[in-house]
Chains A and B, each alone.
Chain A
Amino acid sequence: MIAASIDLGAHRKDEYLQAARIALDPEGAHISLDLTAGIAVADIVLTEIDRDRTGTISAEEAGAYAEVVRRDIALDLDGRPLVVDLIDSRFPSIESMRKGEGAISLELSAVIPALPAGARHLRYRNTHHADIGAYLANVLAPENPQVAIAAQKRDVDQRQLVVDYVLSGDSSTIAASSFLPDVVGALLMCAAVWWRQRSRPGDARS
């Protein structure tokens, strides 16, 4: 005899889960955003994507929807808005979305201008489908040691995440330092050419 009280309605059927992971370095913020519509709201989202009702998602439709989402994502640094660009998008089949399981994956990126060292505040805000949205927003542990996360502050629904971080070193210096090996290499090549020309006996005497 088996008995259980099963609440199948408990599965996230009526929400549009939007999970963002933000990678931060001195020169930019990169957002990986996964959007999964629950089975009860999948048709609402699909109506907005499959605009010609063909039952497939064309490249144009995918691009148009990704653009809608991009416009609903705002990033600002120390109160100044950053330009958010769409880098890549992947769409699942309509069939898997209708089952409430297929996830749309977007890669977004914003350039952070060169900044002096100090405390910084990056604000991420997602207003896409606030009517049915459920949100996750997390900053990844920085790979660049010049970025140290001090705090993450969110609103109760995680539509907004403010990342307080400390930038050590000057990011303009950091950017310039990335060219240093090239510059040194070029100088060494010039020196080598000069030395070879100087060493040729004929050339030296003429």
Chain B
Amino acid sequence: MRIVLRRTTMVNLIVLAIASATAVAQGPAAPQGTAADATARIVRAAQAVLATLDEAGRAKVQFPFDGPQKTKWSNLPSPMFERQGLLLADLTPPQRSAVTNLLTTALSSDGYRKVTEIMKGDEVLKTGQGGRGGGRGAGRGGPSFGEDQYYLAFVGTPSTTTPWMLQFGGHHLAINLTMAGSQSTMAPSLPATQPAKYTIEGREIRPLGEENDKAFALINALDATQRSQAILNYRVSDLVLGPGKDGRVIEPEGIRASSLSPAHQTMLLELIREWAGITNDAFAEPRMTELKAKLPQTYFAWSGPTTNGSVAYFRIQGPTLVIEYAPQGSIDHIHTIYRDPTNDYGAKFVAK
């Protein structure tokens, strides 16, 4: 055990040393706690990943910013959907450690928890299917499940000034974090899960449990008139603006947040934070400030029963936000989407 710990420590030290060296190369550090500082730390962590790779590995992970890679994401498992990038299953322990360091730097603690629980859920799915998948070519062309079946890609060169994207995803997960200096967006991203509830060592895990519970709490907090405005009289069986539906803006429906009490508005904002807060806190806070300012023009729509534990769809839509939560026929299989129709893939940053 002591040897393992020492090896792990050595790996971490090497990663830290590489990160420090690249930090020096990057120039003076930005002030702590700002979005610019967060970008600088993420860039250092990304460069630390690159430093662990050989030429072939770097070629696998790096894509041009203006190429097609940025829109190549899906809820589907590989190879049903063919992903490109670095596959976790192919990485050495130091490489994997560097990727873990990158994800913990780029995401908030809750965001990292959510992402890893979604990945663990896929491991549970693999186990539940009698070990199908897991590893390269598993299932002879069939879907590959498991927590090491996730891909990392850099779309554009990690930089503290020019736009680039950190892309991480696999089955039921697509994180697309675009950064341009002190600006960032995580739209579009797709956190999903199956199973929605599982236990590890006696501990119950619900990757998207807060999203579910906060939404049911909000719909049940509304009075009868508000609820009648929020609840749609038709069934919604899937995401309307899921993968591949970029650049579309649907007409909003449901109740406008300006009709809600301050307490209800706070509940709605806390629900929104479940998606907007996946990213690093330094990026999430300005985004939440923006979404709070636009809350009066934001709509909340619901389809389905209002008893927690039921299959129910909901959508939150504002001028710069679309969130959809769509159970796939049961409460144990959830797809969600997070978009900014004005800034998916950092469109605003590139236009500048």
Contacts and interface: CB of A to CB of B under 8 A. Distances in A.
A140 interface: yes
A6 B194 contact: yes
Given A21-B250, A140-B248, A141-B251, A6 B237 contact: no
A2 B333 CA distance: 18
A155 B248 contact: no
A203 B129 CA distance: 93
Nearest to B200: A2
Interface residues of A, number: 32
B235 A10 contact: no
Contact of A12 (B232, B235, B238): B238
Nearest to A10: B330
B251 A6 contact: no
A158 B251 CA distance: 15
B328 interface: yes
A206 interface: no
Interface string A1-15: 111111110111001
B193 to A, nearest CB: 11
A71 interface: no
Contact of A11 (B124, B201, B248, B329): B329
Interface in A150-205: 152, 154-158
Contact of B251 (A5, A12, A140): A140
A11 B328 contact: yes
Given A136-B240, A149-B251, A4 B333 contact: no
A97 interface: no
Interface in A1-52: 1-8, 10-12, 15, 17, 19, 21
Interface residues of B, number: 38
B333 A101 contact: no
B329 A136 contact: no
B251 A3 contact: no
A101 B333 CA distance: 16
B76 interface: yes
Interface in B302-351: 328-330, 332-333
9 contacts: A1-B202, A4-B198, A5-B332, A10-B328, A17-B237, A101-B80, A135-B237, A141-B249, A141-B252
